[in-house]
Chains A and B, each alone.
Chain A
């Protein structure tokens, strides 16, 4: 008797779990199918649009309470608006770096605004609108530190970056081989070490650093050096067969021309005192393939 009950309970639990999984998946798929059909039929003004952003980069793409904030998010809202989607028609999807291509290829998102650099390798599998911003690798240092003005000054200093990132390695390889490297799970951990004075600099793209510096708790404690030493063209990731590229580029051009671009940049990272590299910004969108 006991054995019967136990096996039954196990079986029931397993079935429940499986049922839970499959019904969840089914639901999602059905939704996705319905949305994309609706979009195609009505030319984009109805239904919803799925946009991939970062959830964990303050100032760029950040889940702030129950809403989303940041430069990438605001640009996405503007572009979506130009494409005919109101803010309540946008569905935000988290797009971690390692999953961006897959999300686009599987049609899980329609556009990606997530510090997504345009590279030839990525162009083999996805297409890009934009660029809407040109970032560059830079350094974040303590506000009162004037000894570091570029990567060459890092000799013998402590530098922090995220685990597995190539940007810190580039500094060691190309500028200052004697740099001490600390790898952390995220940039926020790096900033904590920086404000505590145990590392001297944090490195990644300048606008990401500016976003971190603009967080109220960090304001006035850290600053972006402002001497970028690489060029990253942030584009709008779209599927290879997407027809949205032209419309996206028009929207970006309009946003730059009417001053919205500068306004959004100031609003999101202005508090850090950071100015975008003026030689390269604002960029002109590339021609669509």
Chain B
């Protein structure tokens, strides 16, 4: 971004120092006020925070909760990839009917809030009694995450293929491949590599959304933190710790996605992207 402005001269630098000082004072002032208020309410009492320096909350609550969060996220990313791959190809199919059906399903699940799906599967599966009740929360969380993120992946496959230079397909047809073969052998593989960074950053979305599992009694990290906090009268502190764990893990994943985007660029003619494509409602193969 350095092209946006000249290297600051002495006057600008002096002005920047003043801006920095004022901004620091404002931020520090707000921070101090918040801390004072929290202190007045007793939320900064050491007794509420020190439990997190002992082993028990970690061994008995936070780590098992984190493992359950990771479990749900790991299963979901695989099932979502399968779902996305199937319907992404469906949207590229030469058959108008297959395109229309895949398109409708993908657009439907992209539009429905994950929370709504989780609540539906949780209450619905519980009522059907086909599953071990203790598995119902996990299955509800995984299904909700799969349908939504699978639809995002389907869009990635499609837009990945559309993002390839036209020459790739033309070359494939020129060497005698049929349309379907070109798709399978040339276009989709490159689109998949181009979508790797997006899969990594979608993992951030999946991880965060497992926290919605709290509503359907899935014992993930947030639920575990709440359980610890309710027995120790420090639920706010427990939530802060849980939020920090989420931030650290997701920050790592974001960095991974950025690094991947930089690396895989060389291995595909497509444009690697770290973000999901925008919702394109048209189902035609333009």
Asked if A6 is an interface residue, CB under 8 A from chain B, the answer is yes
Interface centre among B42, B135, B229, B230 (most CB of A within 10 A): B230
- B280: shortest Cβ distance to chain A, in Å? 25
Stretch with Cβ within 8 A of B (4 or more), from A79-87, A134-142, A144-152, A180-188: A180-188
Stretch with Cβ within 8 A of A (4 or more), from B1-9, B23-31, B73-81, B249-257: B73-81
On whether A25 and B135 interact (CB within 8 A), knowing A102-B126, A188-B235, A192-B236, the answer reads yes
C-alpha gap A2/B219 in the complex (Å): 39
Contacts of B231 in A (CB 8 A): 58, 62-64, 215
Asked if B234 is an interface residue, CB under 8 A from chain A, the answer is yes
List residues of chain B with CB under 8 Å of any chain A CB: 41-42, 47-48, 56, 59-61, 74-75, 78-79, 81-82, 85, 122-123, 126, 129, 132-136, 184-185, 188-189, 192-193, 214-215, 217, 219, 226-227, 229-236
Q: Which of A6, A25, A62, A98 is the one whose CB lies under 8 Å from B123?
A: A98
Interface mask (A183-220 → B, CB under 8 Å = 1, otherwise 0) = 00111110110011000000000000000100111100
* 9 A-B pairs with least C-beta separation: A217-B233, A188-B230, A3-B189, A96-B217, A58-B231, A102-B133, A65-B60, A99-B133, A56-B227
- B199: shortest Cβ distance to chain A, in Å? 11
- Residue contacts A-B, CB under 8 angstroms, 23 given: A2-B193, A3-B185, A3-B189, A6-B192, A28-B132, A29-B132, A56-B230, A58-B230, A63-B61, A64-B231, A98-B123, A106-B132, A108-B133, A185-B214, A186-B230, A188-B226, A188-B230, A188-B233, A188-B235, A191-B233, A192-B235, A215-B233, A217-B234
Contacts of A25 in B (CB 8 A): 132, 135
List residues of chain A with CB under 8 Å of any chain B CB: 2-3, 6, 10, 13-14, 17, 21, 25, 28-29, 55-58, 62-66, 93-94, 96, 98-99, 102-103, 105-106, 108, 185-189, 191-192, 195-196, 212, 215-218
Contact B233 A94 (CB under 8 A): no
Contacts of B134 in A (CB 8 A): 93-94, 99, 103, 108
C-alpha gap A212/B232 in the complex (Å): 10
Q: Which of B85, B185, B226 is the one whose CB lies under 8 Å from A185?
A: B226
A-B contact count (CB 8 A): 102
C-alpha gap A73/B276 in the complex (Å): 48
Please give me the residue from chain A that is nearest to B79 by CB atom: A17
Please give me the residue from chain B that is nearest to A191 by CB atom: B233
Contact A13 B78 (CB under 8 A): yes
On whether A217 and B219 interact (CB within 8 A), knowing A17-B78, A192-B236, the answer reads no
Contact B226 A186 (CB under 8 A): yes
Contact A65 B56 (CB under 8 A): yes
C-alpha gap A217/B235 in the complex (Å): 11
Q: Which of B133, B217, B233 is the one whose CB lies under 8 Å from A106?
A: B133
Contacts of B75 in A (CB 8 A): 17, 21
Contact B230 A108 (CB under 8 A): no
- A21: shortest Cβ distance to chain B, in Å? 8
Contacts of B81 in A (CB 8 A): 10, 13
- A240: shortest Cβ distance to chain B, in Å? 14
Contacts of A10 in B (CB 8 A): 81-82, 85
Contacts of B41 in A (CB 8 A): 196
